[in-house]
Every structure is written in C-alpha cells, then in structure tokens.
Amino acid sequence: MIEIGDLPLYNQDLDANPPEQWVRFRRQIGEADGVLFCSPEYNRGIPGVLKNAIDVGSRPYGQSVFDKKPAAIVTASPGSIGGFGSNHQIRQAAVFLNMPVMQQPEAYLGHVSDDSFDESGCLKDGALKDIITGLAHAFANWVDMIHRSRQLLAEDSSHRAQNAEKAKEHA
C-alpha cells in the first residue's frame, strides 16, 4: 500500500528540487516488483489524486519509475459498472508508460460498499472475496512470469554472446 493522498500536485518546475513526498513515492514504486492499481471512479474517469500520482512517478522525463513494471488494474464502485471508465483510463496511461498490464482476469467490481467489509476493514467471506483472491493469485503469477521471462531472455542472450566469442576463437 503506497500513500498517494499527500503528494503535492505535479509541477515540472519542482523537479530540480522535488518535494520529499515525491521522492518517497518514486522510491517506493521503484523498489516494487509490480504495481497493482486499485481505484474508485470519479465522473467516469481516474480520480485526480491517482492521476497526480501517476504523473509524479512518470517524471522527470526519461526517469519514470513505472517503466517496464508489471501492473494490473482493479476498480470498484457501489454502482453496477464497477469503475469501467476509470479502469480503462488507468490502462491507457499504463500502456503509454510501458507497463506490461495483466489483461485477464479483468476487474470491474460493482456493488462494492461499506457493507462488503467487516469492522476491521477486511472483506467479508463471499463471492467478492473469492474474486479478489483469484485476482491476487493471477497478479502474483503475472509479476513472476514477467520477471522470470526477462531473466531467461538475459541469460539466453549472454549465452549466445559467449558462444559467438568461442566460435570466433576457434575460427
């Protein structure tokens, strides 16, 4: 869980001497294996506070902490559309930010309200909890697959480089 409510509004003029909250947020995302965006929907789109966090993490230009991070998007709403508009606006930004975004299962969670949670803030047992549990496992597998694939590709290309060197020596 990464705090985004305290981030000053993104302003490129501040990048030379960034607010400490930006520095903390960028470091936390930078250290993460993946990013699971969880959001409500405001006026059929991304709530401003989340859009601001995405903007803060994406800069300075060329130093985005989101680059290549595996991601997934979960939206929830008391209504029946489940934050579909917000979900796809987040996805649009994530695609631009070069994040491999999990495509399935999709997560537009409708009819989520205070009643869905117990007094300690945990989801009550039931269909919603089962869906969220499935999503969590799918996301963990997605993050693992992206990192392992990159590692295998790196090993493969290093073996090919070594073999090419050996072939040159023997030629």
Ligand X SMILES: Cc1cc2nc3c(=O)[nH]c(=O)nc-3n(C[C@H](O)[C@H](O)[C@H](O)COP(=O)(O)O)c2cc1C
Residues at the contact surface with ligand X, assessed by CB under 6 A: 40-44, 77-79, 81, 83
Residue 113 CB, nearest approach to ligand X (Å): 8
Q: Is 64 left (phi over 0), alpha (psi -120 to 50) or beta?
A: beta
Cβ-based neighbour number of residue 53 at 10 Å: 22
For residue 122 the two structure tokens come to 């945990």
Residue 106 CB, nearest approach to ligand X (Å): 16
Half-sphere exposure of 41 (CA within 13 A, CB side): 26
Which residue's CB is nearer to ligand X, number 84 or number 138? 84
Residue 58 CB, nearest approach to ligand X (Å): 22
Residue 41 CB, nearest approach to ligand X (Å): 4
Strands 108-109, 35-39: pairing is: unpaired
> Is residue 38 within a helix (H) or strand (E), and if so which, with residue range?
strand 35-39
Residue type for position 106:
E
Which residue's CB is nearer to ligand X, number 4 or number 71? 4
Which residue's CB is nearer to ligand X, number 83 or number 100? 83
Which residue's CB is nearer to ligand X, number 31 or number 114? 114
